[in-house]
Amino acid sequence: MDIMYQSTRNPKEKVTASQAILKGLASDGGLFVPERIPLLDVSLETMKTYNYQQIAYEVMKLYLTDFTEEELKNCIQCAYDSKFDTPQIAPLKQVNDTIYLELFHGATIAFKDMALSILPHLMTTAAKKNQVSNEIVILTATSGDTGKAALAGFADVEGTRIIVFYPKDGVSPIQEKQMVTQRGANTHVIGIRGNFDDAQNGVKEMFNNKKLEEAMKKKGFQFSSANSINIGRLVPQIVYYVYAYVKMLADGSLKEGESFHVVVPTGNFGNILAAYYAKSMGLPIGKLICASNENKVLYDFFSTGTYNKNREFKLTSSPSMDILISSNLERLIYHIAGDNAEKNAELMQLLSQTGVYEITQDMKEMLQDFEGGFATEEQTANTIKTLYQNTEYIIDPHTAVAASVLYDYIEHTKDKTKCLIASTASPFKFTRSVMRAIDNKYDAMGDFALVDELSKLSKTKVPKAIEDIRIAPVLHNTICDPNKMQAQVEIILEL
């Protein structure tokens, strides 16, 4: 039975999966959610012998029901190929008692590759299915990783253009170099004098601007998104939690039916929401442990039931989590309100008007599976250093936030349940923060000297993504204020 998608703010707006992927954001500013969450229809035991691509099909076919088997399998094969540096796509690494799900083996060495390798194929297939003749303009705000992964995915894809906004002083030097050196005639990168929330708000305003939409339509353009607000980003992320579980079954780490906790470093809430969907499909996940950095808006929400973005914005060593408005949380709010679009819309309006909302007691009780935690900058650095000293395994600051939160959770609960950490980025993407944490003597070294030193310490080859940008020329150098973002789009599209 086909699954339709509706807005989190209006149950009357229903579209197919392919239409939801093309639109990105619902016309009322809400996010698209499946009208029901499907259950896995192939047993986890059966999938033990499946590779990543096969598991991806078994999961995604349940959500993208208006794609044919041939269309979906073709998208999967085009996405999960030699762009990844390992045939496992998302290998598991056991370090002491913790299992790390390494989601950074794609072209841009961050977990965003897991979904953004397939989104361009889903989108161009969706455009053909819906007889779309307009050029699709991917409009995206990034806190560091989405931008490069989206740029790499959509570069020179026929019928598309991509415009990425990022906070000029809010990403790592490597993240910025990856974006501003991006090749592709259809790619545009703009730094803003502000933070990620400013960039995200500017993008959402453009999506909701009917006058701009009309001007674009006349010129043959339409917007879509590569952010995790797009359901085409979220569905592929569900896959790797199912994959991790069946591989743990296969290697004997878990017994059939045994549950495991999932720990996810979280900013925009998409990655942990994918785990929630996986659990809702029947995957035996116990706790969903949401790990925050010092911008601990999600930790406070899970602790109190009140979401309050009115606080100091902090720049940290885990910049992809430097977010105060977690867009994907809206999908969870919708679900815990009993799939009540009216209630969700009321809370989102409060957030927009006052920066604060509070959920009901009944909604709080629906969050029993979630556990919030946060790590300070000092705890994050100590986790990187201690793990390296004890095991020689080196993790990036985002993964270190998750590991620190997990250690704290275990210490306080004495819970012996097996735990999986979503390892979201390669340490090579954040070399300065990582090497400084290991020993501050490295502070005097240049960025690429640090890359070579990290390679020696970790006994791993420098990723191609880093080698490619060593001497690459800067191709994008536009910077603007947040209130000039739309003007930049109009210049690019010659509106």
Active site members: 112
Are the beta carbons of 48 and 250 closer than 8 angstroms? yes
Are the beta carbons of 336 and 367 closer than 8 angstroms? yes
Specify the pairing of strand 187-192 against strand 478-480.
parallel
Query: Which residue is associated with the tokens 């072209």?
Result: 107
Sign for the CA dihedral angle at 443, 448, 451, 452 comes to negative
CB-based contacts of 181, cutoff 8 Å, min separation 6: 468, 469, 472, 473, 474, 475, 476
Instruction: Output the six-digit token pair for 242.
Output: 């199912």
Q: CA-based Rg of the chain, rounded to a whole angstrom?
A: 21
Are the beta carbons of 423 and 431 closer than 8 angstroms? no
Rounded Cα–Cα distance for residues 242 and 59 (Å): 8
Residue 7 sits at φ, ψ, to 5 deg, of -75, 145
- Helix, strand or coil for residue 235? helix
DSSP string covering 433-492: HHHHHH-GGGGGS-HHHHHHHHHHHHT-PPPHHHHTTSSPPP---EEE-GGGHHHHHHHH
Query: Which residue is associated with the tokens 């470093």?
Result: 265
Buried b (16+ CB within 10 A) or exposed e, 253-291: bbeeeeebbbbbbbbbbbbbbbbbbbbbbebebbbbbbb
Helical residues (DSSP H) of 85-195, grouped into ranges: 112-116, 119-129, 145-154, 173-180
Rounded Cα–Cα distance for residues 162 and 151 (Å): 7
- Helix, strand or coil for residue 276? helix
Buried b (16+ CB within 10 A) or exposed e, 6-23: bbbbbeebebbbbbbbbb
Helix axes 119-129, 145-154, angle to 10 degrees: 50
Q: How far does CA 189 lie from the centroid of its chain?
A: 19
Query: Which residue is associated with the tokens 């990844």?
Result: 84
